[in-house]
Structure 1
Amino acid sequence: MPRNRSILLLSLGHACVDVYQGAVASLVPFFVAERAYSYAAVSGIVLAASLLSSVAQPVFGLLTDRRAMPWLLPVGTLLGGVGIALSGLSGSYALTLAFVAVSGVGVAAYHPESARVARLASGGSHSAMGWFSLGGNLGFATAPLLVTAVVATGGLRLSPLLVVPALAGSVLCLPVLRALDRTVRGGPGTAMAAGADDKGAFVRMSLAVVCRSVVFVGLSTFLALYVQRRPGGSEAAGTAALFVLYLGGAVGSVLGGRLADRWGRVAVARWSYLVSGPAVAGVVFVPGPAMFVFVALTSAGLYVPFSLQVTLGQDYLPTRVGTAGGITLGLTVSIGGLASPLIGRLADATSLRTALMPLILMPALSWLLFRTLPEPTPPNFAAQDTGAPDTGAAGMGPVTALEHPRRETSEPDRSRSADRPPELR
């Protein structure tokens, strides 16, 4: 299967899964209206989905490092959809919490393995990984539209219709999994030669991702309210600002991959964070419509490094790519999200502008951390003759590109190093 088609299918499947990350918060108004849940109760539902999903992702990463599980892509997608679909059928708070938790586990199961499969299908292309990340961003952004279109017309009793994206996503990934498996069964196939882990660099990069998450989650939570309460602001202006924040993310994900193919991931991420600091300051301090320009710059600056950090984490921990994906996609995001209540408390004690001011420093911290990071040697996506079949642990036949990368240190490709920028050599 051509690489572009594989990435397109995986990106669409990613969108179908991440719809359920945004669906929980979108269901909150309907839970309050139909079931009279308190704010504390609905906060518990959102926490059950987001925190469980984020914390469980590294666990699934550890499991997939021990044994390849490509079947988690369709199964995780279905669990994510079934949990949300059933959450509207019972008025029991305990059952609602349980169904939402099932959805969170499904989302958590999907991401580490899908990041590894997408990396294999992309052949190491940063641009292709950017498109894969774009799918998730679009899925998250369209969740409110989907939930409102379904539930607002007939109430929570129509929530089973929300399973449709999960059915579509589980089917979309199957041709990619079959193609990758069939490629190696038929002869030479794509495999990754893994080197030694650089745990120090991975930890520093993860701290940078946490700082990035603090900024993005903080703005996602309070931006609309902040714009609405500014002089001349309105509810429409607040909604528009939030839309620009999400739309810039769609552009940034693709742009980051293209820039990294030319200048390297670490350099691109470093410059992105350097731009993000002044952009966040513009969001906080610049009055009038010009503020929307800074919202767009902030969004692009925060999203350009997003997919790059996933592949950087995989290359810093080449023998534990599942763990790397689980941490960069899950745990660091949830830790960053824990700052939102602190921002809210500071806003209650002072003002929302004062509470948002510390966010200006977060991109600077990410920039400083990225200054200490080396550009890792990417895995060698080389043709490999598998020879006689060797049954893999995943039960999918020979140990193929879908199975684990070979645990051997690969020498950098000296023939290509002269064509790279100095910091990539």
Structure 2
Amino acid sequence: MPKNKTIIMLSAGHACVDLYQGAVAALVPFLVAERAYTYAAASGIVLAASLLSSVAQPLFGALTDRWALPWLLPVSTLLAGLGIALSGLGDSYPLTLALAAVSGIGIAAYHPESARVARIAAGGSHTAMGWFSLGGNLGFAAAPLLVAAVVAAGGLRLTPLLAVPALAGSVLYLPVLRAPRTSARPSARGASPAGHDDVASFVRLSLAVVCRSIVFVGLSTFIALYVPARTGGGAAAGAAALFVLYLGGAAGTVLGGGLADRWDRVTVVRASYLLSVAAVAGVVFVPGPMIYLFVALACMGLYVPFSLQVTLAQDYLPARVGTAAGVTLGLTVSVGGLTAPLIGAVADAASLQAALASLIAMPALSWLLLRTLREPTGQ
């Protein structure tokens, strides 16, 4: 397949998968309203979706370092959709947790292999990788709209309709699987530059991604509940805020790829985290409609580094690109999900504003971790 067509197909499939990551947070207000969950209980659903993913994604990455597994793309897409589609049936909290975990496993299986295939198709272009990541951001952005349209119409019992994107995504990947390079053995891939692993830089980058993840998960979990209180709006105001959050992420991803093709990735990533500090503070403390602007800026700042951090990680570990992708797309990102119940507990004990205020320090820590980081040798 031509490179641009392959990237487009991968990006569209990525949207179908990451829709289910966004759907977890989008379901939280409906779970609170329909099942009377507390903040901590509702955020536990986010934890369930993240917990197995955080452990499994690096393991899937290690597998893709040894074997090409392109068949994982359609299979994992179906699994991610199945867990969310069934999560609204019944009112058992343990069953809902288990189904969220099933979706998390599907997401874990998808990302390392998709990053491997996308890196091959991109041919070293940061802009192309940005477009691939954009698909995931658009899936996130569409999640609150799709969930609201489906669940608001008939309650949580209609969540099986959310399986449709998973079916579509699995079909989209069939032409990609026939591309010969996607099935090449690891030794024949040639997707990453030759060189020695820089483990110290990789660890620092990974810790910065952890801090970024905590901010994003905290905002995506609670912004739909926080914005109505700051604007005087209802559930629609919260859904709009979640949409703006994800749309800002989509814009940031495209912007990040273009900026990295003009300047080095590390410089772009550092600058974006400084922007995020001010933007998250605006989300927490600025009242009224202006909060939507700061929500967009916050997620732009958090997502400009997104695809750049994946390729940086792969270049710091050139002999283990699957593991690098599994850690940066999986383990570090999912740690944010592990902190969601803690943020919820602070909100229950104090206030939601106090809980979200603690997030301001996270992008500052990311900047400090990356302050002296260097671009990988040979890039």
- For the Cα contact (< 8 Å) 1:184–1:190, is it kept in 2? no
Give the CA deviation at 1:20: 2.0
Letter in 1 for 2:309: Q
Cα shift readout 1:177-236 (whole Å, capped 9, x = no counterpart): 322439989xx9965443211110010001111111122222223334443333x53335
Select between 207-216 and 89-98 the one with higher mean Cα deviation: 89-98
The answer for the alignment partner of 1:137 in structure 2 is 137
Percentage identity across paired residues of the two chains = 74
Q: Secondary structure of 2:178's partner?
A: helix
- For the Cα contact (< 8 Å) 2:192–2:318, is it kept in 1? no
Unaligned runs of 5+ in 2: none
The answer for the alignment partner of 2:272 in structure 1 is 272
Cα gap change, 1:302/1:155 in structure 2, threshold over 3 Å: closer, same or farther?
closer
The answer for the alignment partner of 2:233 in structure 1 is 234
The answer for the alignment partner of 1:338 in structure 2 is 338
After the TM superposition, which residues 283-294 of structure 1 pair with which residues of structure 2 at under 5 Å, given as runs?
Answer: 283-294=283-294
Mapped to 1, the partners of 2:168 and 2:228 lie a distance apart of 37
After the TM superposition, which residues 51-90 of structure 1 pair with which residues of structure 2 at under 5 Å, given as runs?
Answer: 51-88=51-88
Mapped to 2, the partners of 1:358 and 1:95 lie a distance apart of 31
Q: Secondary structure of 2:49's partner?
A: helix
Select between 157-166 and 16-25 the one with higher mean Cα deviation: 157-166
Select between 82-91 and 53-62 the one with higher mean Cα deviation: 82-91
Give the CA deviation at 1:152: 4.8
Select between 93-102 and 220-229 the one with higher mean Cα deviation: 93-102
The answer for the alignment partner of 2:367 in structure 1 is 367
Mapped to 1, the partners of 2:232 and 2:256 lie a distance apart of 32
Unaligned runs of 5+ in 1: 378-411, 413-423
- Is 1:177 aligned with 2:177? yes
Letter in 2 for 1:14: H
Give the CA deviation at 1:148: 4.0
Select between 19-28 and 270-279 the one with higher mean Cα deviation: 19-28
The answer for the alignment partner of 2:314 in structure 1 is 314
Q: Name which one, 1 or 2, has greater alpha-carbon Rg.
A: 1
Mapped to 2, the partners of 1:355 and 1:110 lie a distance apart of 32
The answer for the alignment partner of 2:262 in structure 1 is 262
Give the CA deviation at 1:4: 1.5
Select between 349-358 and 112-121 the one with higher mean Cα deviation: 349-358
Mapped to 2, the partners of 1:92 and 1:355 lie a distance apart of 28
- Is 1:211 aligned with 2:211? yes
Letter in 2 for 1:131: W
Select between 275-284 and 299-308 the one with higher mean Cα deviation: 275-284
Q: Secondary structure of 2:248's partner?
A: helix
Letter in 2 for 1:16: C
Mapped to 1, the partners of 2:348 and 2:163 lie a distance apart of 39
Select between 220-229 and 13-22 the one with higher mean Cα deviation: 220-229
Give the CA deviation at 1:112: 0.6
- For the Cα contact (< 8 Å) 2:192–2:314, is it kept in 1? no
Select between 83-92 and 219-228 the one with higher mean Cα deviation: 83-92
Give the CA deviation at 1:257: 0.2
- Is 1:165 aligned with 2:165? yes
Q: Secondary structure of 2:179's partner?
A: helix
Give the CA deviation at 1:108: 0.9
Mapped to 2, the partners of 1:48 and 1:11 lie a distance apart of 26
Cα gap change, 1:130/1:179 in structure 2, threshold over 3 Å: closer, same or farther?
same
Cα gap change, 1:245/1:25 in structure 2, threshold over 3 Å: closer, same or farther?
closer
The answer for the alignment partner of 1:127 in structure 2 is 127
Cα shift readout 1:281-304 (whole Å, capped 9, x = no counterpart): 233333444443333222211110
Mapped to 2, the partners of 1:224 and 1:291 lie a distance apart of 12
- For the Cα contact (< 8 Å) 2:47–2:338, is it kept in 1? no
Give the CA deviation at 1:33: 7.7
Cα gap change, 1:346/1:123 in structure 2, threshold over 3 Å: closer, same or farther?
same
Give the CA deviation at 1:67: 2.0
Query: Normalising by structure 1, what TM-score?
Result: 0.78
Mapped to 2, the partners of 1:132 and 1:74 lie a distance apart of 16
Cα gap change, 1:234/1:6 in structure 2, threshold over 3 Å: closer, same or farther?
same
The answer for the alignment partner of 1:47 in structure 2 is 47
Structure with bigger helix share is 2
Mapped to 2, the partners of 1:182 and 1:336 lie a distance apart of 31
- For the Cα contact (< 8 Å) 1:20–1:103, is it kept in 2? yes
Cα gap change, 1:250/1:161 in structure 2, threshold over 3 Å: closer, same or farther?
same
Give the CA deviation at 1:93: 6.0
The answer for the alignment partner of 1:409 in structure 2 is none
Cα gap change, 1:140/1:96 in structure 2, threshold over 3 Å: closer, same or farther?
same
Letter in 1 for 2:358: P
Mapped to 1, the partners of 2:299 and 2:37 lie a distance apart of 32
The answer for the alignment partner of 1:8 in structure 2 is 8
After the TM superposition, which residues 188-207 of structure 1 pair with which residues of structure 2 at under 5 Å, given as runs?
Answer: 191-207=191-207
- For the Cα contact (< 8 Å) 2:50–2:335, is it kept in 1? no
Letter in 2 for 1:243: F
Mapped to 2, the partners of 1:42 and 1:283 lie a distance apart of 22
Give the CA deviation at 1:126: 0.7
Cα gap change, 1:44/1:233 in structure 2, threshold over 3 Å: closer, same or farther?
closer
The answer for the alignment partner of 1:252 in structure 2 is 252
- For the Cα contact (< 8 Å) 1:62–1:322, is it kept in 2? yes
Cα shift readout 1:116-166 (whole Å, capped 9, x = no counterpart): 110110101111111111111111222233334445555656544433212
- For the Cα contact (< 8 Å) 1:210–1:336, is it kept in 2? yes
Letter in 2 for 1:333: V
Select between 63-72 and 25-34 the one with higher mean Cα deviation: 25-34
Give the CA deviation at 1:9: 0.4
Letter in 1 for 2:233: S
Cα shift readout 1:244-280 (whole Å, capped 9, x = no counterpart): 2221111000000000011011110011112221222
Matched residues, number: 375
Mapped to 2, the partners of 1:288 and 1:156 lie a distance apart of 30
- For the Cα contact (< 8 Å) 2:141–2:242, is it kept in 1? no
